[in-house]
Amino acid sequence: MPRTEVRRDLKSAATSHKGDRIFNRSITTAAFTALVVLAGIAIFLGFSAIEALRTQGLDFLFTTEWSVEQEDPKAGIWGMLYGSVLLSVIGLVIAIPASLLLSVFIVFLAPRRLAKVMTNVIDLMAAIPSVILGLWAFYLLNPPAEEWQFLLNKYLGWIPIFQNESGNFNGTPFIAGFVLAIMMIPIITSVSREVLGRTPPDLINAAEALGCSLWTMLRYVALPYGRGGIVGGIMLGLGRALGETIAIFFVLKLIFETNWYNIIESGGGSVATLIVATFGEVSGPYELNLLLAAGFFLFVGTLIVNVIANLIVQRTGRMQR
Residue 203 maps to which CATH number? Answer: 1.10.3720.10
Return the pLDDT at 186: 92
Tell me the pLDDT band of 144, cut-offs 50, 70 and 90.
very high
What are the φ and ψ backbone dihedral angles of 159, each rounded to 5 degrees? Answer: -90, 130
* 161 and 237 co-located in one domain: yes
**End-to-end distance of the chain based on CA atoms, in angstroms?**
17
- Are the C-beta atoms of residues 137 and 251 closer than 8 Å to each other? yes
* 22 and 135 co-located in one domain: no
* 310 and 190 co-located in one domain: yes
* 13 and 84 co-located in one domain: no
Within-domain flag for 69: no
Within-domain flag for 172: yes
Return the pLDDT at 160: 86
- Are the C-beta atoms of residues 63 and 78 closer than 8 Å to each other? yes
Within-domain flag for 63: no
What is the total count of domains within the chain? Answer: 2
Model confidence over 243-276: pLDDT tens digits? 888 889 899 888 887 777 788 988 888 888 888 8
User: Does 6 or 201 have the greater pLDDT score?
Assistant: 201
* 44 and 140 co-located in one domain: no
Return the pLDDT at 3: 55
Within-domain flag for 229: yes
Tell me the pLDDT band of 199, cut-offs 50, 70 and 90.
confident
* 51 and 89 co-located in one domain: no
Return the pLDDT at 100: 93
* 32 and 92 co-located in one domain: no
Return the pLDDT at 60: 84
For 151, residues 6+ apart whose C-beta sits below 8 A from its C-beta are: none
Within-domain flag for 64: no
Return the pLDDT at 5: 54
- Are the C-beta atoms of residues 196 and 214 closer than 8 Å to each other? no
Residue 317: pLDDT over 80 = no
Average pLDDT over residues 80-105: 92
* 116 and 264 co-located in one domain: yes
Going from the C-alpha of 302 to that of each of 95, 241, 243, 281, 282, the distances in angstroms are 18, 9, 7, 26, 25
* 17 and 121 co-located in one domain: no
Q: Which domain holds residue 46?
A: 3-56
User: Does 144 or 213 have the greater pLDDT score?
Assistant: 144
Q: How far apart are CA 283 and CA 61, in angstroms?
A: 21
Residue 4: pLDDT over 90 = no
Return the pLDDT at 74: 81
Within-domain flag for 61: no
Within-domain flag for 66: no
